[in-house]
Structure 1
């Protein structure tokens, strides 16, 4: 069984069996027909994935690895906030007539800040510190910039990464670990998508900084399943998981800005059928 499947099944079971419902409360999201989109939720879900052991892609249904990597690079590498530079259409509902989602996500990654070492944006600052001061306890990013929230078409959900470097026991090999902080997550549509994105990011940064990928810790403040998703989740977690796929990253790439989604491959990725027509609350 894939470890990611085990984590996902246990998380969903806990949310459904022990979570609290928002039914009857004043909620922001609505379904396409205009009715309120209620959830059942758990506060403070923490999942850990050891990337040295296996890649955390679900086998209960397929995670589109190329598409999720494309979105991650859209934010971290292209530093874009325009959906026209993104191959998938997941952000279309939040884009304006020009394709912009406002001062959100990639926009914030591209803002240059003054540091003692010079002007750098957040991506370049992370890479600089990993290469020059790997044991720093200050290697982190933040997309939740309060002064710009009013100009964001959607407040950031996955808003912060904190990186921490350790050393393998009895070895000089450095290990790159990361904590992904998320204020809110639609578990059915986005959980494994985000997990795979940031697992790939850790692998990429580790490779270009001469390290190996270690642990990804995913912290979700509000992990929820929408009311219309519950039957789909119940069906999904009854499936029998397959073994985890084998992760491959193009070893020739030494500059983070040279990576493309084609440099990421999942071998022997056997999955159950995709769940189709999942309604999305906006």
Structure 2
């Protein structure tokens, strides 16, 4: 059965059975009817996925792989903070009348900074994803290949503080093939487990595969660290039904091998083959 399913089920059971609730406390999120949106949570959840073994899409229900990759590319490739550049409607609640979500996510990825000086001492400015690509190709064993979207100077101009806020990349070596292996840690301050967990896992698994391919590496391990992994009160019965379902083998992941430039990837260059899954959960209430 799918390893991602087992991780998801274990995490949900841990939250429901051993988590702490926010009932009786003042909370920021509200349901559409204005009712406080309380949660039950676990602190410091760490999930590991070996991408060399299988792709971590759950089979309990379908993860819309092309939609989640479109959102990931909207941030990391287009470096956009405007929902008019995004195909899905997942950010509509946080956009202003011009479509902007403020100085969040793609805006932070695209900000340039002084990365290094070249041979003649001239300054070289890069944004965060270009710096990652440069370092993976020129200094792969650096322990400083980090992307951070939690910029305190700009928080007041973000319509939502970044949830998945940093990636730390680390390269190892495959002793059998001799090839370099790209690994990453995804740090997330907060996660709505039902609505976003596998969506985020699949996004960053695809990102890791893409970066590995264009940097001539193998995809290795994705470590997902969630500070506050929570299930909303109105989601609990939905989650309980979901994790009781039949599980299927993991799908096979395909990434277009002809793409060697990160900026040429689209959601059409990825595919999940032999993907079996349970019925979708429709109309999940979202707290804002």
- Does TM, scored on the shorter chain, surpass 0.5? yes
Using the alignment, how far apart are the partners of 1:80 and 1:103 within structure 2?
A: 10
Please point out which of 256, 259, 282 is paired with 1:253. 259
- Helix, strand or coil: the match of 2:253? strand
In the alignment, what sits opposite 1:26? 26
In the alignment, what sits opposite 2:227? 221
- Structure 1 stretches lacking a partner, 5+ long: none
Q: Pairwise mapping of residues 24-63 of structure 1 onto structure 2 (< 5 A)?
A: 24-63=24-63
Map Cα deviations across residues 164-194 of structure 1 (whole Å, 9 max, x no partner).
0000014320000000000000000000000
Please point out which of 157, 163, 166 is paired with 1:157. 163
The reply to whether residue 271 of structure 1 matches residue 271 of structure 2 is no
- Helix, strand or coil: the match of 2:220? strand
RMSD: 0.5
Map Cα deviations across residues 10-57 of structure 1 (whole Å, 9 max, x no partner).
000000000000011110000000000000000000000000000000
Using the alignment, how far apart are the partners of 2:257 and 2:283 within structure 1?
A: 37
Using the alignment, how far apart are the partners of 1:64 and 1:206 within structure 2?
A: 22
In the alignment, what sits opposite 1:203? 209
Map Cα deviations across residues 186-231 of structure 1 (whole Å, 9 max, x no partner).
0000000000000000000000000010000000000000000000
Map Cα deviations across residues 132-160 of structure 1 (whole Å, 9 max, x no partner).
00000000100000000000000000000
In the alignment, what sits opposite 1:68? 68
Using the alignment, how far apart are the partners of 2:94 and 2:236 within structure 1?
A: 25
How far 1:277 moved relative to its partner? 1.0
The reply to whether residue 181 of structure 1 matches residue 187 of structure 2 is yes
Give the TM-score, by structure 2 length. Answer: 0.97
Using the alignment, how far apart are the partners of 2:25 and 2:153 within structure 1?
A: 28
Using the alignment, how far apart are the partners of 2:14 and 2:116 within structure 1?
A: 46
How far 1:265 moved relative to its partner? 0.3
In the alignment, what sits opposite 2:177? 171
The reply to whether residue 138 of structure 1 matches residue 153 of structure 2 is no
In the alignment, what sits opposite 2:134? 128
- Helix, strand or coil: the match of 1:162? strand
- Helix, strand or coil: the match of 1:202? helix
Using the alignment, how far apart are the partners of 1:235 and 1:53 within structure 2?
A: 28
- Helix, strand or coil: the match of 2:287? coil
In the alignment, what sits opposite 2:121? none
Give the TM-score, by structure 1 length. Answer: 0.99
In the alignment, what sits opposite 2:92? 92
Question: What is the aligned residue count?
Answer: 282
Bigger shift: residues 167-176 or 58-67: 167-176
How far 1:115 moved relative to its partner? 1.7
How far 1:126 moved relative to its partner? 0.2
Q: Pairwise mapping of residues 226-245 of structure 1 onto structure 2 (< 5 A)?
A: 226-245=232-251
